[in-house]
Copies of this chain bind each other. A is one copy, B any other.
């Protein structure tokens, strides 16, 4: 009996290591970007029936698990408020060091409002560089102005 999406996430992760599947292969099979697909497999997004069944086959999931993939999950992928993992911490550090800068510059350009984290996409690419390759990340979020009423 599965009572929590995180159980399905654990099944996927265990099967992924055991079978040596890559996230980019999963994304290709699902027909979506590798960023969105991975987030979904890690329990943060909701798949439709066809996508869920594709993933179920790739990872040998039960019907019950495939049903859970189609349910909106309780989101949040980190075990602590301040992440301990060095790679993820660097992102938290960006928010901490650049947070007020990002706020100032978006407000200077757009006025009061936010950059949506829902109508949002992300693209992660390797950028070759003779001094050492770089990780290039493009974030695109709709600007939502604060409503006055």
Contact = CB atoms under 8 A, between A and B. Distances in A.
* A95, A96, A119, A129, most chain B CB atoms within 10 A: A96
A67 B135 CA distance: 26
- Which 5 pairs from chain A and chain B are nearest by CB? A76-B84, A3-B10, A115-B135, A46-B112, A3-B14
B141 A135 contact: yes
Question: Which range contains the number of A residues in contact with the other chain?
Answer: 35 or more
Interface in A21-77: 22-24, 32-36, 38-39, 42, 44-46, 64, 67-68, 71-72, 74-77
Given A2-B17, A17-B71, A115-B87, A142 B124 contact: no
A109 to B, nearest CB: 5
19 contacts: A1-B10, A35-B101, A35-B105, A39-B97, A46-B111, A77-B98, A77-B101, A78-B96, A83-B95, A84-B96, A86-B118, A87-B114, A88-B95, A88-B100, A91-B102, A94-B122, A95-B95, A118-B144, A118-B145
Interface of A: 1-4, 10-11, 13-14, 17-18, 20, 22-24, 32-36, 38-39, 42, 44-46, 64, 67-68, 71-72, 74-122, 124, 126-127, 129, 131-149
Contact of A108 (B22, B32, B114): B22
A38 B105 contact: yes
